Structure 1
Amino acid sequence: MGRVHALPTAARSVRLADAVRIYLGTIAVANTRATYAAALDRLVADFGADTDVAQLDS
């Protein structure tokens, strides 16, 4: 018999600043993290820390 899998629910709003912080925390190499941080900090400055990440997909 087949298995039933729950579909993922739509994510609640995720703040851009939180997404950037979490993502940068996954990068172990300091130089790489610093390079990504420079670009992502500009993204946060341009769009705002409280921007919902889902809105950036359009």
Structure 2
Amino acid sequence: KEYEGDSKDYEFSRGSVEERWRAGYFDTVRTLRHPEVVKRPSSPDGVFIFDVAQHGAG
């Protein structure tokens, strides 16, 4: 990406931050397409783990 330099681990240019915001937004939209993510856990531990990455983009 043209805005990334050699120090990618601390790149905070406007372009890189906006790209990360967009990616986070679309990750959230994709996650919320699965109704099970908003259900309360039935286990006493109270934890659910969802691997939505396995479903790919879209």
TM-score above 0.5:
no
TM-score (norm 1): 0.31
Q: Which has the higher contact order (CA 8 A, sep 6+)?
A: 1
TM-score by length of 2: 0.31
